[in-house]
Amino acid sequence: MNNREKLVKKLIEEGYLKSPHIIEAMKKVKREFFMSKEYKKYAYIDQPFPIPPFTAQTISAPHTYAIIYEALELKENDKFLEIGTGSGYGAVLAKEIVKNGLVVSIEINKETFEFAKKNIEKAGYKDIILFNRDGKLGCPEYAPFDKICVTAAAKEIPHILIDQLKDNGKMIVPVGPEYATQKLVLIEKKKDKINKKTLTYVVYVPLI
């Protein structure tokens, strides 16, 4: 059993991973492809690590992706929007899960965007749609989406993104103050009614 398989086994035992298709994605995607060279040896430790431009951005801990994709019930053929590409790891995991579905990812920081783009290409994924721009506005040209994941903290739930969700769509967004503890909120849209549920507590960089 390699280190990646050991990590996945640990996440299953801890209750983070449940769905076979999400488990298979995490077994397949090599996290070291998405890490800066000085941290690659720690790829299968369940914690975040810095990524360029080495200010506050990180590749999130693996259990965070498990929490998010399980709660979203991300599945094959979904149209998925990620706000905050970061390292590119989350977008590639999502692509492995949705298969022939669509993955769109937006990153505002130019240096981080180029890092992610290079990582995604190195990992062999050519059909993930990437934008270097402000994610607060979402992606109207590909909307509506089945699932949306925001990987930066918003002071309040971005309604423009809710508008880009399909009926019965789900979105996850960290909500709270900058550089402090935030609520990771799951939003479900049903016939224009919005249901909210706090999943856990996190600390993300702000949604600029």
Going by DSSP bridges, is the β-strand pair 165-175/102-107 parallel, antiparallel, or unpaired? Answer: unpaired
Between helix 89-98 and helix 110-122 the angle, nearest 10°, is 50
Q: How far is CA 87 from the centre of its chain?
A: 10
The residue length of the chain stands at 208
3-state helix, strand, coil in the chain (%, to 5): 35, 30, 40
Q: Residue 91 is inside which H or E element, if any?
A: helix 89-98
Going by DSSP bridges, is the β-strand pair 165-175/182-190 parallel, antiparallel, or unpaired? Answer: antiparallel
Residue 60 annotated in active site: yes
Nearest-angstrom CA–CA distance, 49 and 9: 21
Active site residues: 60
